[in-house]
Amino acid sequence: MNALTMSTARPPPAGDDLLRIVRINEEIKRVVGVSFKINIMALNAIFLAKRAGTAARGFGVLSNELRVFSQDLRTCMEALTGLIHGCVNEVSIVLQDIRFARLLREAAELAPQSAAIAVLQRREDENEAHRQKLASLRGQLKRALEDAFQMVELGGVLAKSAKIEAAYGQSFAPSLSQVSGEFDGIVEEIRGSLESLRRSAFFTGH
Amino acid sequence: MKTTKTIFQQGNHKWVAIVRDPEKPNYLVDTNEYLVTHGGKGLLLDPGGAEIFPAVFSALSAEFDPSALAGIFASHQDPDICSSLALWLEFNPGMRCYVSWLWSSFIPHFGGTADTFVPIPDEGTDISLEGLILQAVPAHYLHSSGNFNLYDKIAKVMFSGDVGAALLPPGEDSLFVEDFDRHIRHAEGFHRRWMGSNEAKRRWCERVSQMDIDMLCPQHGAIYRGADVQRFINWFDDLQVGIVKA
């Protein structure tokens, strides 16, 4: 295909992508902040369960699991942040490609007998490689986000189990119920954040 | 599209001015680019900003094979000087870019690799174009703190970058200065504001007045030739620069 007509048909959404990535990154930062909160809450819950003794042994085990969950979630979010940085880098390259391809295309149109068409063709091939790399990173990010979502599902189960265990806490039951309710609320908040990330136009394209 | 005008020719030694694009959007400052050719190779002086690359490229390629460009001379670091660098390198990745050492790690933000840049020391240097010696003449602080002009002793042509530049109103677009007194009014405000040092200006005037120059070619506006060259040097020498009317 002629390089002059090759890429005009595809309006590249890279500029929008950069904005979408920024929003994803902000949401990830929010999840990291919240997961840190779970860690602190879980530590407090472990101490509370210890004070409650054998009646809250199950609650103690679950609190410990929630603490591990919060740490795993942070590790997962760090991996997502790494992928986000990779995407920012690749989107920036694609944006530059778009500008250069536009200028080379204009040059080729003004000087059709020159070497500009061959250079533009070569450029377009390189640009396609960059677009594919971005598509691959987009896929990796989507999969990593799904993994995070699965992890949060598990966190939700742990929080709900903690709610049930709290009921067996005898005189500590009201305090344990309050803590487990807070766990559940926070896990739901994270789930909401990840749901909105899943719906991001960066993945859906609209 | 820009037009090309050959302003000097002796065998295969040429100076070509690439000027005046009627389709250029008004929000972009108008620039002159110059091509020096010798022995089948070319040196492009201040190739211009990325946005005007198509216009410069098409005008140049009507005259000369862009892949035969051996290098680019950047008088200083501004975006209207050389933000098109990466695009020119597409046509010849081996092209060198001659620029003040002061900017040799700044201009790579426009493109190029470690091998692209040839830093020019403060005192200037000789640049060979297939045996033709072109002299990088110091013009520091006029206006950039690392700034060079380029002198061709054979052609007696001096590319003066922003020195001598004029922001011409619509309709006054002749290639050469025709009426010095009328023209210089369009240069005065620019020089007062952009040129930062009276001392640097005085040294430049001293140095350049000793050189044999038939044409003084700025990056904006019209070319001074003949007696207008010395007229400009005298005018500039008298001008108080580094002044803001505020």
* Domains present along chain A, CATH in parentheses: 13-88+144-204 (1.20.120)
Q: Kindly state the DSSP code that residue B168 receives in the 8-state scheme.
A: P
Q: Is B156 in contact with B215 (CB distance < 8 Å)? A: yes
Q: Report pLDDT for B230.
A: 98
pLDDT band at A7 (very low <50, low <70, confident <90, very high): very low
Domain CATH for B50: 3.60.15.10
Could you report the per-residue pLDDT of B161-180, keeping only the tens digit for each?
Answer: 999 999 999 888 899 999 99
Could you report the per-residue pLDDT of B59-92, keeping only the tens digit for each?
Answer: 998 889 998 999 999 999 999 999 999 999 999 9
Q: Which of A166, A162, A161, A172 has the alpha carbon at shortest distance from A51?
A: A172
Using CB atoms, pick whichever of B1, B54, B67 lies closest to residue A103. B54
Using CB atoms, pick whichever of A103, A113, A115 lies closest to residue B50. A103
Q: Which of B118, B65, B73, B120 has the alpha carbon at shortest distance from B91?
A: B65
C-alpha B143/C-alpha A76 separation (Å) is 52
Contacts of B57 in chain A (CB under 8 A): 107, 110-111, 114, 116
Q: Do B66 and A103 touch (CB under 8 A)?
A: no
Question: What ipTM describes this predicted complex?
Answer: 0.85
The predicted model gives A20-47 an average pLDDT of 88
C-alpha A101/C-alpha A5 separation (Å) is 12
Q: Which of B246, B222, B242, B245 has the alpha carbon at shortest distance from B232?
A: B222
Query: Could you count the other beta carbons within 10 Å of the beta carbon of residue B20?
Result: 18
Q: Report pLDDT for A5.
A: 47
Is residue B52 in some structural domain?
yes
Contacts of B55 in chain A (CB under 8 A): 110
Contacts of B54 in chain A (CB under 8 A): 103-104, 106-107, 109-110
Q: Report pLDDT for A14.
A: 67
C-alpha separations of B128 from A108, B132, B135 in Å = 30, 5, 9
Is residue B246 in some structural domain?
no
Phi, psi of A119 (to 5 degrees): -65, -40
Could you report the per-residue pLDDT of B37-55, keeping only the tens digit for each?
Answer: 999 999 999 999 999 999 9
Six-digit token pair at A31? 């999840």
Is residue B243 in some structural domain?
no
Three-class SS state of B14? strand
C-alpha A139/C-alpha A121 separation (Å) is 27
End-to-end CA distance of chain A: 29
C-alpha B149/C-alpha B233 separation (Å) is 14
C-alpha B152/C-alpha B139 separation (Å) is 16
Q: Do B58 and A123 touch (CB under 8 A)?
A: no
Q: Report pLDDT for B148.
A: 98
Residues 44-103 of B with CB under 8 A from A: 50-51, 53-55, 57-58, 61-62, 65-67, 86-87, 90-91
Q: Is A14 in contact with A199 (CB distance < 8 Å)? A: no
Closest alpha carbon within chain B to A103: B54
Closest alpha carbon within chain B to A126: B90
Using CB atoms, pick whichever of A100, A110, A113 lies closest to residue B87. A100
Q: How many CA atoms lie within 13 A of A37 on its CB side?
A: 15
Contacts of A113 in chain B (CB under 8 A): 61
Q: Report pLDDT for A128.
A: 95
Contacts of B58 in chain A (CB under 8 A): 107, 110-111, 114
Which residues fall within 8 angstroms of residue B83, CB to CB, at 6 or more apart? B48, B49, B50, B110
Number of A/B CB contacts below 8 angstroms equals: 44
C-alpha B105/C-alpha B190 separation (Å) is 28
Could you report the per-residue pLDDT of B91-105, keeping only the tens digit for each?
Answer: 999 999 999 999 999
Q: Which of B84, B66, B91, B63 has the alpha carbon at shortest distance from B4?
A: B63
Is residue B245 in some structural domain?
no
Q: Do B61 and A115 touch (CB under 8 A)?
A: yes
Is residue B244 in some structural domain?
no
Is residue B116 in some structural domain?
yes
Q: Do A111 and B62 touch (CB under 8 A)?
A: yes
Six-digit token pair at A93? 């390259």
B175 touches chain A (CB under 8 A): no
Q: Do B87 and A106 touch (CB under 8 A)?
A: no
Q: Do B57 and A107 touch (CB under 8 A)?
A: yes
Residues 149-168 of A with CB under 8 A from B: none
Is residue B177 in some structural domain?
yes
Rg over CA atoms, chain A = 25
Domain enclosing residue B47, as ranges: 3-238
Q: CA quadruple A162, A165, A167, A171: dihedral positive or negative?
A: negative
Q: Partners of B224 in the beta sheet?
A: B216
Question: How distant is the alpha carbon of residue A150 from its chain centre?
Answer: 13
Is residue B204 in some structural domain?
yes
Per the structure, how many domains does chain B have?
1
